[in-house]
Amino acid sequence: MAAVEMAARSGRRLLALAQLDPATASPGGRDLHPLGTVASLAENLAISPAEHRVELDGLRRARVVRMLGVEVLVAEAEPVEEGDSGGEWGPAVEALARYLHAHADLRTFLEGQRRSGDPMSWVNLACQHLPITASARQKLLEAGAPERCQRIGRGLDALLRKEQG
């Protein structure tokens, strides 16, 4: 929560990194994946003194260059270029469209998202909402744009087949 509170006071941006082992109660810098997402703090709602609802909007991938701190971790990170998806985003976006057509509630949610017209931003948004494990999500984050698009497209199609069958 310290990172969220710091982001709220200083430009609303933070670097979101997944833990290597989710069971680690108080992760340090060595307990986090070096590749994460620069995100904008969209919402930080205190539900109770011990519980918060935090919503982040992923902006771009970034790799940790240096991390400092003990109680509060501060990272220097460099952006990871997406590169060209090689046209692979097309099938992923089509799979997303098929999935959204079957889920009006999700379509309404996505229409309310603040997204650019860049197809990759929609593919990445779909990735955030796939019902997959944290380790599978990390593998997608680490994959290049073409592979990520292919995996997300296949994942959405498989999810839709499972729901319909």
Claim to verify: residue 136 and residue 99 sit in the same structural domain: yes
Claim to verify: residue 129 and residue 67 sit in the same structural domain: no
Determine, yes or no, domain membership for 84: no
Domain end among 37, 56, 79: 79
- The DSSP string of the chain is -HHHHHHHHTTSEEEE--BSSTT-SS--GGGB-SEEEEEEEEEEEEEETTEEEEEEEEEEEEEEEEEE-SSS-EEEEEE------TTTHHHHHHHHHHHHHH-HHHHHHHHTS---S-HHHHHHHHHHTS---HHHHHHHHHS-HHHHHHHHHHHHHHHHHHHH-
Domain span at 22: 2-79
Encode pLDDT of 26-60 as tens digits: 889 999 999 999 988 989 999 998 898 998 888 88
pTM for this predicted structure: 0.75
Provide the number of structural domains found in the chain.
2
Claim to verify: residue 99 and residue 72 sit in the same structural domain: no
Encode pLDDT of 64-96 as tens digits: 999 998 888 899 999 998 766 666 667 777 777
Claim to verify: residue 62 and residue 93 sit in the same structural domain: no
Claim to verify: residue 55 and residue 96 sit in the same structural domain: no
